[in-house]
């Protein structure tokens, strides 16, 4: 009889590592050559994403930095990917019509692509050069002057600086950073977008060379930062208790059971000054509950500090603003008149230290 043999196979499934995918072409600000191609981030399944600056121009999606064939492009339908293996006209490059910040997503299973421009609404500042340092609860907001253009004008100290694009109370967020670590911020220079995933590994901060007043303009359209020294001493002279504000790096806080920090004055919420946004006002935005509020000049573990108070006890917000009263309570025993917020909501607070008024404006949260 012929012999009969048996064979047992053991099969273990595994996920095949995904191929890399790159963006290359004239739309890449780093350069149009293959060596300058930027790597996309690998997502779930067959998805790839990338966010950064693009020039007006064309780009392809290539599997490596060595050859532009084969590549992924489009043909006829801007949202459908076409694979061109031989470069014989089977696909056309993707196109960007204007400079800006974009997100590119590609799915190699569904063969779809999306190129979306990001219209940024908020940019903040953080670092040892800012009045509040590296405190994540004290990010300094920039003023949106125009689409893609953000401005800060005010005091800075010698130290480091970078620009978060989210106020999320953590450092792992997208940033606008310097192209190289420790670069002098003064003059005109290039800016770089860094994703949240790369923010701790690629942490290039600018250097502010000396204490003083500065005007900083971030231009997302031109991908530039312009920083110059300015003199705001005349403006400070107009401000009530201006010498105290200037000596305290323009710091002012809010505290009370209506505020996020409650009555913990050692963790009082900070207001910010930006001459470009409002010459006379320090501002704060956020959620308030029903309750009391006042504005100390100092974070402390005690209440014997100078502050702005209401003109009367339990004063409610007025449509035309409320009068500010400066109280130097350093020695204690001074009247403690606070404003009373009657309705919980999202508010913009402006403390006008020139005209001695405070404005509580209920608005829509960003």
194 burial level (CB within 10 Å; 0-12, 13-18, 19+): buried
Question: Which fold, 22-117?
Answer: Immunoglobulin-like (2.60.40)
202/281 Cα distance (integer angstroms)? 35
pLDDT for 246 = 81
Q: What is the pLDDT of residues 273-308, one digit of tens each?
A: 999 999 999 999 999 999 999 999 999 999 999 999
| CATH class of the domain whose range is 124-230 | mainly beta
Fold topology of 237-362: Immunoglobulin-like (2.60.40)
How does pLDDT run along the chain (366 residues), one tens digit per residue?
677 778 888 888 765 556 899 999 999 988 999 999 999 988 767 789 999 999 999 999 999 999 989 999 998 888 999 999 888 888 999 999 998 899 999 999 899 999 999 888 999 999 999 999 999 989 999 999 999 999 999 999 999 999 999 999 899 999 999 999 999 999 999 999 998 988 988 899 999 999 999 999 999 988 999 999 999 999 999 988 888 888 888 899 999 999 999 999 999 999 999 999 999 999 999 999 999 999 999 999 999 999 999 999 999 999 999 999 999 999 999 999 999 999 999 999 999 999 999 999 998 866
Q: In the chain, where are the structural domains located?
A: 22-117, 124-230, 237-362
| Nearest alpha carbon to residue 295 among 332, 254, 348 | 254
pLDDT for 316: 96
CB count within 10 Å of CB 11 equals 4
pLDDT of residue 15: 57
pLDDT of residue 332: 93
**Cα 133 to Cα 305: distance, rounded to the nearest angstrom:** 21
Q: What is the DSSP string of 246-314?
A: HHTTT-EEEBSTTSTTTT-GGGPEEEEE-TTT-SSEEEEEEEE-SEEEBEESS--SSS-SEEEE-SSTT
Return the closest-CA partner of residue 149 out of 53, 226, 230: 226
Inter-residue contact 335 to 309 (CB < 8 Å): yes
CA 313 from centre of chain:
38
Percentages helix, strand, coil for the chain (3-state, rounded to 5) are 5, 45, 50
What pLDDT shows up at residue 365?
67
Task: Report pLDDT for 2.
Answer: 73
Domains 22-117 and 124-230 share a fold: yes
């Amino acid at each position: 009889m012929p012999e009969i043999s048996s064979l047992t196979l053991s099969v273990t499934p595994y996920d095949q590592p995904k191929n890399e995918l790159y963006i290359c072409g004239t739309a890449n600000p780093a350069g149009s050559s293959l060596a300058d191609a930027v790597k996309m981030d690998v997502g779930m399944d067959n998805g790839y994403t990338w966010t950064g600056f693009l020039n007006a121009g064309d780009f392809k999606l290539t599997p490596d930095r060595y050859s532009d064939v084969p590549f992924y492009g489009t043909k006829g339908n801007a949202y459908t990917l076409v694979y061109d293996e031989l470069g014989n006209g089977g696909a056309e490059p993707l196109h960007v019509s204007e400079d800006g910040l974009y997100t590119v997503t590609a799915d190699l299973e569904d063969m779809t692509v999306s190129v979306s421009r990001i219209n940024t609404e908020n940019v903040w500042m953080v670092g040892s050069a800012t009045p509040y340092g590296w405190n994540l609860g004290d990010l300094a907001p920039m003023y949106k002057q125009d689409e893609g253009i953000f401005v800060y004008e005010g005091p800075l100290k010698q130290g480091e600086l970078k620009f978060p694009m989210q106020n999320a109370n953590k450092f792992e967020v997208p940033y606008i950073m310097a192209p190289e670590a420790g670069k002098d911020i003064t003059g005109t220079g290039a800016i770089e977008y860094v994703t949240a995933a790369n923010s701790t590994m690629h942490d290039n901060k600018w250097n502010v060379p000396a204490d003083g007043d500065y005007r900083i303009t971030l231009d997302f359209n031109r991908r530039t930062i312009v920083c110059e020294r300015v003199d705001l001493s005349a403006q400070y002279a107009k401000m009530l208790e201006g010498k105290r504000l200037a000596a305290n790096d323009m710091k002012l806080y809010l505290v009370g059971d209506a505020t996020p920090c409650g009555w913990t004055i050692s963790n009082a919420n900070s207001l910010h000054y930006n001459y470009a946004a409002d010459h006379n006002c320090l501002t704060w935005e956020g959620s308030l509950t029903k309750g009391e509020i006042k504005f100390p000049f100092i974070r402390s573990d005690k209440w014997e500090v100078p502050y702005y108070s209401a003109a009367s006890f339990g004063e409610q917000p007025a449509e035309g603003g409320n009068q500010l009263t400066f109280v130097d309570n350093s020695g204690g025993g001074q009247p403690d008149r606070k404003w009373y917020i009657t309705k919980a909501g999202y508010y913009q607070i402006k403390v006008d230290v020139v005209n001695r008024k405070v404005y509580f404006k209920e608005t829509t949260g960003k």
